Amino acid sequence: MSGFIEEKSFMLPRVALIACGCFSPPTPMHMRLFEIARDYFELRGTHKVVGGIISPTHDSYGKKGLAPALDRCAMIKLAAQSSNWIRLSDWEVHQPQWMRTKAVLQYHQNYLNNYINSPYDEEPNELLPGWLPPGLRERRDPIRLKLLCGADLLESFAVPGLWADEDIEEIVANHGLVVITRCGSNPEKFIFDSDILTKYQQNITLITNWVPNEVSSSLVRRLLTRGESVKYLLDDMVLNYIKRQGLYNVKSKYITDAVRPDHLNFNRTYMDNNENAIKPENEQPEQLMEDESDSPLRQQTARVFCCGESSRSSTKLLLSRPGPGQAVQVMTVQSKDTIDGLEQSQPKKQKIAKVQQV
């Protein structure tokens, strides 16, 4: 039975998905579009998805908030690092000027066709582009490249002057659309209102995203320029890259201070940075946390020390379980020498008083 299922899967028509846009910056929802589309095709047993391609637009596109192409490519590679089938194509950004979506699809479709139909020994692997999915020559049947997009791109077809009618017809007729829509939207009505889309509606796949995510690149850029945190809205490595490169006028030091990509990959770095917190008390370095207040009253109070560190004065730090982030209790006691000195001074004062009375 399992062999029959594998044979049936092997015979399914093959498709590749390509997403075009700015990706400034790439968000997790950009990646989710690919996953949602692949699940739709493969769970229904209609197509075999062989690869996903992200093609960022050329710098000359000139959209507000567009980061340099090389930075966007770097962020896409970081965002797709955990995926084994979504890949970056930088062909578009290396062209002399901005390319229409129709031309981008044509180039990638032609390359796929030529690669499948060419002799196996004609082109060495090291010359192949990085976006090319592996294992394509296991079969000789064609691969159809489909444009993956959200419902907003579908609706943009109706914006006057934004798309040429011949481009829309070329894309839908010769490639096809895979549209990820939101729950409650009505893309069928939009298709009905368009003569071109209605004519080729059999080439349009509508998929409802039942887990809505309204995080967009423009929203992330707005938060960054305001100095607000965008952690958990972007991949940690993408977020750290934005900070290091100073993209989108990053203002706040709190945006990515806690992001350390090495800590995500190497636990040893984390342990090295925190070894002071787990050492015995007598092995701790003598390091003070300075009081931030300039008030004389505050300066006379006991100094507060970092968790797990020993003091150099008479302040005693009581720790139940040393470790980072724990609550500490600070108590100020007088040293033995100080107490002995006070006890010895009382008889001397009494003798001096008696002598003065005589």
- Asked if residue 249 and residue 106 are part of one domain, the reply reads no
Least confidently predicted of 22-31, 56-65, 123-132: 123-132
- Which residues lie below 8 Å from residue 67, measured CB to CB, with a gap of 6+? 24, 25, 75, 247, 248
CATH of the domain at 179: 3.40.50.620
pLDDT score at 349: 56
Does residue 20 sit within a domain?
yes
Whether the pLDDT of residue 351 is over 90: the answer is: no
Residues 239 and 111 in one domain: no
Residue 41 has pLDDT above 80, yes or no: yes
Same domain, 176 and 243: no
197-235 tens-digit pLDDT = 999 999 999 999 999 888 999 999 999 999 999 999 999
pLDDT: which is higher, 302 or 138: 138
User: Global pTM?
Assistant: 0.69
| 56 in the same domain as 196 | yes
The answer to the question of residue 304 being in a domain is no
Report long-range pairs for 274-279 (Cβ below 8 Å, ≥24 apart): 274/324, 276/308, 276/309, 277/307, 277/308, 277/322, 277/323, 277/324, 278/308, 278/322, 278/323, 279/308
Asked, for residue 250, whether it belongs to a domain, the answer is: yes
The answer to whether residue 307 sits within a structural domain is: no
Burial of 187 (0-12, 13-18, 19+ CB in 10 A): buried
Answer for the pair 200, 169: CB distance below 8 angstroms, yes or no: yes
Residues 141 and 195 occupy one common structural domain: yes
* Antiparallel, parallel or unpaired: β 143-150 and 86-88: unpaired
The answer on pLDDT for 284 being more than 90 is no
Structural domain count, the chain: 2
Same domain as 197, residue 224: no
